[in-house]
Amino acid sequence: MRVTNGMIAKNVMTNINQSYSRLDKLFTQAQTQKKISRPSDDPVVAMKGMYYRMNVLEVEQFKRNFTEAHNWVETTDSAIGEASKVLERIRELTVQASNETYDEGQLEAMKEEITQLKAHIKSIANSKVGDKYIFNGTDTLTPPVDKNGNVSFNSKNVEFELAKGIYVPVNMLGENVFGSENQGNSIFSMLDDLETALGQGDTQAISGFLDKIDASADKMLSARAELGARTNRLEFMEERIDNQEIIAKRIMSDNEDIEFEKVVMEFKQQEAVHTAAMSVGARIIQPTLMDFLR
């Protein structure tokens, strides 16, 4: 087979172009810090990258859910704590009012204060996280206490997905904190009756409310204890999700990211090879007659 100058020149140019391609690939890797810049560079890496990236995005969403969950739990705990303090003041007034030494005017003043405290507890029952009511179950856009003072609680828990397939309630049902009309233990009905007794000056009836007030306080205490247990669970789950995020990002990095030092060394080697190829190619390609005629 006869080898012509044209064939040699074509082979030299083909190899030089391939060398340019390898240099370009290494340069792109060094610049982007990624093994591939398009799926066609390595379909296997690209497919795995999509899967690993979905895992990372899923974990990051769980972390955002944890932030929202903590917000709900902390706001709920703070609201119940405030309601408990109000109830303590109501108990103090009830103890005082049950003492027969107070006259009608003093009892009326106590009644007026309890009326204001009851209104404050109703405002606490309408506590919100953002634009969502925290004590009205899944009906988060409707206040449990309407503008006329009527109380109605939704009885379905608000649940957040905090791990794959694991849903955790983040709210406290209003009836578990403030009682229920149907069960006859509503704090609001009890305070209505207490106001009536104060207005009538019936000290014997007033003293009978102490046990009811204590029962309401115990209900709030139980709700705060349950919130404390949920907080502990959230912290343990969040720690596990943090670990999953580290692992997921490391796996994604191992699949996609380059070893920078290795790529730089390969680039230096390819650069040396390319320079040598250019030098040798210039020697191999012989001058033509046209070159002498110029």
> Per-residue pLDDT tens for 53-69?
888 889 999 999 999 99
Gap between the Cα atoms of 283 and 279, Å rounded: 7
Helices (H), the chain: 5-32, 43-97, 104-125, 174-178, 187-200, 203-207, 209-256, 260-284, 289-293
Decide if 115 contacts 105 (C-beta within 8 A): no
Task: Indicate the average pLDDT of the chain.
Answer: 85
* pLDDT of amino acid 210: 93
Q: Long-range contact list for 6-14, CB < 8 A, 24+ apart?
A: 8/284, 8/285, 9/285, 12/277, 12/281, 12/284, 12/285, 13/281
CA 57 to chain centre: 12
Torsion on CA atoms 161, 165, 171, 174, rounded to nearest 10: 140
172 φ, ψ (degrees, to nearest 5): -115, 130
Band of pLDDT at residue 113, cut at 50, 70 and 90: very high
* pLDDT of amino acid 90: 95
Burial (Cβ within 10 Å: 0-12, 13-18, ≥19) of residue 166: exposed
Of the ranges 84-88, 121-125, 221-225, 274-278, which one carries the lowest mean pLDDT score? Answer: 274-278
* pLDDT of amino acid 287: 61
Band of pLDDT at residue 43, cut at 50, 70 and 90: confident
* pLDDT of amino acid 122: 95
Gap between the Cα atoms of 273 and 16, Å rounded: 10
Question: Cβ contacts of residue 255 below 8 Å, gap of 6+?
Answer: 35, 45, 48, 49, 52
Judged against a pLDDT cut of 60, whether residue 200 lies above it is answered with yes
Give the total residue count for the chain. Answer: 294
Look up residue 78 and give its amino acid: S
Tokens describing residue 49: 């990258």
Averaged over 139-143, what is the pLDDT? 94
Averaged over 134-163, what is the pLDDT? 92
Averaged over 271-292, what is the pLDDT? 68
Tokens describing residue 275: 């320079």
Band of pLDDT at residue 4, cut at 50, 70 and 90: low
Query: Could you give the 3-state DSSP secondary structure of residue 167?
Result: strand
Averaged over 249-276, what is the pLDDT? 77
Which element (helix H / strand E) includes 87? helix 43-97
Gap between the Cα atoms of 282 and 14, Å rounded: 14
* pLDDT of amino acid 235: 93
**The pTM is what?**
0.76
Q: Among 106, 84, 26, which residue's Cα sits nearest to residue 225?
A: 84
Decide if 79 contacts 127 (C-beta within 8 A): yes
